[in-house]
Amino acid sequence: MFISETQIRVRYAETDQMNVVYYGNYAQYFEVGRAESIRHLGFTYKDMEAMGVIMPVVEMHCKYLRTAHYDDLLTIKTTLKELPADHKIEFHHEVFNENKKLLTVGRVVLYFVTANGMQKTTMPVELYEKLKPFFSL
């Protein structure tokens, strides 16, 4: 299993009239968690795009347990429970506040597809090799 944590501070523009993070912003928080988790491995989305592979989101689930507010420091825990063997990758996200209270849980499914034809493909070998040590094969 691969786990990473990223912190982000809630900006004023991300809150609604009630000083609560607008629910749609969690998709962006999950994206930050995914991008930074890959960056922690020494690889980036930009690297993948240069290889001709992109990752569109095909499914997203989110459960809101508690609210986050302006200026809260959030920790986004991103987990890969399985090493992808085909075109699909599934990220699990948990968002915590500074008091380590769980605020939101989510799951995002993305596909690896070719940038020039949108055909399903597999994870780039370079990323696979960086993730493999975290999983018992």
| Burial grade of 2 (CB within 10 A; 0-12, 13-18, 19 or more) | buried
Distance in angstroms (rounded) separating the CA atoms of residues 119 and 108: 20
Q: CA-CA distances (angstroms) from residue 11 to 69, 71, 116?
A: 9, 6, 36
Q: How far is Cα 135 from Cα 114, in angstroms, rounded to an integer?
A: 26
Of 16, 47, 71, 72, which is the active-site residue?
A: 16
Helix (H, G, I), strand (E, B) or coil at 31: helix
16 tagged catalytic: yes
Structure tokens at 108: 């995002």
Closest CA to 106 of 23, 44, 9: 23
Residue 129 has pLDDT above 80, yes or no: yes
Predicted TM-score of the model (pTM): 0.93
CATH class of 2-134: alpha beta
pLDDT band at 136 (very low <50, low <70, confident <90, very high): confident
